[in-house]
Amino acid sequence: MSNIRHALNVKREDDFAKWYQEVINAADLAEESGVRGCMVIKPWGYGIWERVQRLMDDRIKAAGIPNAYFPLFIPLANFEREADHVDGFAKEMAVVTHHRLIADGEGGLIPDPEAKLEEPLVVRPTSETIIGDAMARWVQSWRDLPLMLNQWANVVRWEMRTRMFLRTSEFLWQEGHTAHATREEALEETHRALEMYRACVEEDLAMPVIAGEKPENERFPGADETWSIEAMMQDGKALQAGTSHYLGTSFASAAGIQYQDKDGEHQLCHTTSWGTSTRMIGGVVMTHGDDDGLRVPPRIAPHQIVILPMLRDKPEDEAVLAYCEDVRKSLSGVSALGEPIRVLLDKTPGKAAAKRWSWVKKGAPVIVEVGPRDMENSKVAVLRRDALWNMDNGKPAMTFTPRNEFASTAAQLLEDIQADLFAEAKERRDAKITRGMTEWHDVVNSFRKGGKYPGWVEVEWSKPNGAELEAVVEKLKAEKLTFRNVPRDSEPADGICIFSGKPAVERILVARAY
């Protein structure tokens, strides 16, 4: 393997935003579509999403929740029934008002005045209202509860500032919706969904997260409670990687979701909703990427092992290909991380070095190279993408493994990569969370003086509401800071609120965020 380092043009420490975009391009994840804020997800990027979707869907089905599908277009009146909900999404809604275009006489097209819709239709930003209508029809008795549904869909939120995967006008997601007889049952589902997200993101995406409750100003519009998992990116900013909402009875009241209890009385249902999206792919880039491109955790890699025959347009090429095919076959039936290993034998034409660096940038977990000399010695050259370089000599960290041993060690290799990526990210996150500050000016200074990537601060507060909370939020905005969540596993508060000077009731994370 050549010792020439094919790094990206931008390093993370120099310009994290530009580095992020370059990784997306170099890893061939996605590209601009020509419509502002919308992207084309390319096969490698979509392959990662399919893996995430599959693993998440397995968890959802294991909880006994079936998939369904609901319309993309939602009557505007549905949103108007729930005031907080429509206020929360009004600025992001894309609205359809006509169903036909006509020529304008100057070579262009305009909406046909005769084809104006009787009622505007909102392009789905979320589905609580349309699914609420269905639930109102499907729930009649206590015997119909709990009603639990999930859908995989696209949604549209007309974002002012967009960034691929992280904040796009159209994105793909999963949204779960449930209806229950009691508050206790609905809260139990809210926390079950949150734990499902935590497990999936930590175990499958190797992204450590902190689960907790959002403060009042960060709740989902119309919700009684919102819970989130927050992941720290390499630049110290927070990424909300999934949310779960207890909606109380407000949506049920608006949509008429009620049931007849065992005593014959009509009761409103308690509902929940929970979702996560393709922004997780952006999280994987910013959590695991390095200055050579992407590093994909094996659980979500479309191809976990890529075999590269080093072809030279010589007679021995055919023998090298046959040797590589034998290596591929030796891995068939071998399982790692609970599934058969996914192997690709890359026979595409091109120079060996260019193909190698293409897979390095895409982040394939294990790259196996085979040339004539390897074949003669009955070996394969193995490169771990997560440990690309030998730090002692600055050369690629290739391991030459006997061919008959590789199949027996491949599973452990993939499991080690998965575990090591998580451990690396967790160690970095934990080192960047500051606790124990008791003065607001110290928090401000920690972000101002913390360099480009200062991390998070956990502070104690008195959980204000109303005007008092609004004043605190304005202080945060002035420093481009946000509340993330109240960690469910944090130590009890035992001091004074950093904002009000009153006795603190809980601890909350403060950070800059995507």
Using the structure block, give the residue that is written with the tokens 């500051």.
Answer: 434
Contacts of 488 (CB under 8 A, 6+ apart): 211, 212, 213, 227
- Identify whether the C-beta of residue 340 lies closer than 8 Å to the C-beta of residue 279: no
Contacts of 440 (CB under 8 A, 6+ apart): 475, 498, 499
DSSP 255-297: HT-EEE-TTS-EEEPEEEEEEEETHHHHHHHHHH-BTTB----
Alpha helices (H) along 2-104:
16-26, 43-62, 76-80, 83-89
DSSP 35-52: STT-EEEPHHHHHHHHHH
pLDDT digits (tens), the chain, 514 positions: 444 455 799 999 999 999 999 999 999 999 999 999 999 999 999 999 999 999 999 999 999 999 999 999 999 999 988 777 777 788 899 999 999 999 999 999 999 999 999 999 999 999 999 999 999 999 999 999 999 999 999 999 998 889 999 999 999 999 999 999 999 999 999 999 999 999 999 999 999 999 999 999 999 999 999 999 999 999 999 999 999 999 999 999 999 999 999 999 999 999 999 999 999 999 999 999 999 999 999 999 999 999 999 998 888 999 999 999 999 999 999 999 999 999 999 999 888 788 999 999 999 999 999 999 999 999 999 999 999 987 777 777 889 999 999 999 999 999 999 999 999 999 999 999 999 999 999 999 999 887 767 899 999 999 999 999 999 999 999 999 999 999 999 999 999 999 999 999 999 999 999 9
- Identify whether the C-beta of residue 60 lies closer than 8 Å to the C-beta of residue 150: yes
- Give all domains of the chain, ordered by start, each with its CATH number: 16-288 (3.30.930.10), 303-414 (3.40.50.800), 433-511 (3.30.110.30)
- Identify whether the C-beta of residue 201 lies closer than 8 Å to the C-beta of residue 229: yes
